[in-house]
């Protein structure tokens, strides 16, 4: 891995043009020692086959993407979601994942064109959902990493939209700071926040469970899939990375980029570019 890194992870969505096996095989060549895979890929391979493949390759499972999507219109739907989230915990356990990424979900009914506009209620359902899942996850020793998403996704993807909000939730549900509930800090979602530095400090080593790298492009042509390689955008990555490690972050730098542009390239080329940009970034620290 690039000098100065504790370890470097790649989120498999960054190179979704590659199969998970090919990605795992290619990792060592570029200095990636861990992957954050997505559930559909793991389920397609079979959970135990995937776990064995990772283990045989000597590649760790960093995060596991993902559980959550709590808010729903009916109690029956919420039960189904809770069941599926518990299954995700079990899969994360089988994979030996360092954490399970929690994506809160947005407003119920948005996809169906019949949105429930009550954000406060949706956020309450998220809190209840995480509280219930935390019990199951704690039994398995699986860390839950709440990932706040950019406010532009509040309606349709995730109604946890700042680090402060995520940490308030952590403090409410896990006041003892067990180490099993925390946050994934993704620079793309949080770079703009004037309170980011202070909230990273507040999180500290117990709550900092993930650190995701990409960049914010200007202009951004698509709200979901036009993220940039580190250095191509406007985010002060060395500064934020400094805050993260100063706060005692103990896990890996992870590259997670959703980009139609990168998905059109050869996956190997993308891995090479991601690793190179991380090398530059670490040199700037």
By the criterion CB under 8 A, which residues form the site for its own copies? 107, 110, 115, 117-119, 123, 150-152, 154-156, 159, 161-162, 165, 191-194, 216, 218-220, 223, 233-236, 239
Q: How far is the CB of 158 from its own copies (least distance, A)?
A: 10
Helix (H, G, I), strand (E, B) or coil at 48: helix
Judged by CB, which is closer to its own copies: 45, or 110?
A: 110
Minimal distance in Å, beta carbon 281 to its own copies?
13
**Which one, 100 or 240, has the nearer CB to its own copies?**
240
Give residues with Cβ within 8 angstroms of 112, minimum separation 6. none
CB of 235 vs its own copies, minimal distance in Å: 7
Between CA 102 and CA 89 the distance in angstroms is 11
- Taking alpha carbons only, the member of 145, 147, 128 closest to residue 182 is 145
Residue 143 CB, nearest approach to its own copies (Å):
24
Residues 6+ apart with CB under 8 A from 88: 39, 64, 66, 67, 100
Nearest to its own copies of 70, 191 (CB atom): 191
> Cα separations (Å) of 81 from 121, 129, 152?
17, 9, 24
- Gap between the Cα atoms of 47 and 207, Å rounded: 27
Strand ranges for the chain from DSSP E: 8-11, 34-36, 60-61, 63-68, 99-103, 144-146, 181-186, 208-213, 253-255
Report in angstroms how near the CB of residue 228 gets to its own copies at its nearest: 11
Sign of CA dihedral 14, 96, 45, 182: negative
Give the span between the Cα atoms of 101 and 107, in whole angstroms: 19
Closest approach of its own copies to the CB of residue 66, in Å: 20
Secondary element (H or E) of residue 86 = helix 75-95
**Calpha distance 142→140 (Å, rounded):** 5
Q: Of 7 and 115, which has the nearer Cβ to its own copies? A: 115
Q: Using the minimum distance from each CB to its own copies, give the nearer residue, 58 or 124.
A: 124
For its own copies, which is the closer residue by CB, 143 or 241? 241
Pair of tokens at residue 110 = 């948005």
CB closer to its own copies out of 49 and 234: 234
Please report how close the Cβ of residue 241 comes to its own copies at its closest, in angstroms.
13
- Integer Cα distance of 62 and 59 in angstroms: 9
Strand pairing of 60-61 and 63-68? unpaired
Tokens of 136: 């199951």
Q: Which is nearer to its own copies, 236 or 266 (CB)?
A: 236
What is the smallest separation between the CB atom of 99 and its own copies, expressed in angstroms?
A: 23
């Amino acid at each position: 891995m690039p000098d100065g890194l504790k370890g470097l992870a790649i989120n498999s969505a960054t190179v979704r043009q590659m199969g998970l096996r090919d990605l795992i095989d290619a990792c060592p060549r570029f200095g990636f020692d861990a992957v954050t895979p997505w559930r559909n890929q793991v389920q397609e391979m079979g959970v135990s086959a995937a776990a064995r493949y990772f283990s045989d390759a000597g590649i760790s499972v960093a995060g596991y993407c993902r559980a959550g999507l709590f808010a729903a219109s009916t109690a029956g739907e919420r039960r189904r979601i809770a069941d599926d989230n518990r299954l995700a915990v079990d899969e994360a356990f089988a994979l030996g994942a360092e954490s399970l990424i929690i994506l809160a979900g947005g407003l119920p009914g948005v996809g169906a064109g019949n949105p429930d506009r009550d954000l406060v209620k949706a956020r309450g359902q998220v809190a209840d959902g995480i509280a219930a899942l935390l019990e199951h996850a704690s039994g398995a020793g699986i860390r839950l990493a709440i990932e706040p998403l950019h406010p532009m996704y509040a309606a349709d993807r995730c109604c946890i939209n700042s680090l402060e909000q995520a940490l308030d939730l952590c403090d409410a549900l896990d006041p003892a700071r067990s180490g099993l509930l925390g946050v994934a800090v993704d620079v793309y979602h949080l770079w703009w926040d004037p309170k980011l530095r202070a909230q990273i400090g507040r999180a500290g080593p117990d709550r900092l469970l993930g650190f995701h790298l990409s960049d914010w492009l200007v202009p951004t042509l698509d709200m979901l899939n036009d993220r940039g390689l580190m250095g191509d955008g406007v985010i002060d990555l060395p500064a934020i990375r400094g805050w993260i490690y100063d706060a005692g972050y103990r896990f890996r730098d992870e590259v997670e980029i959703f980009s139609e542009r990168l998905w059109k390239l050869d996956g190997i080329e993308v891995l090479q570019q991601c690793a190179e940009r991380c090398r530059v970034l670490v040199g700037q620290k």
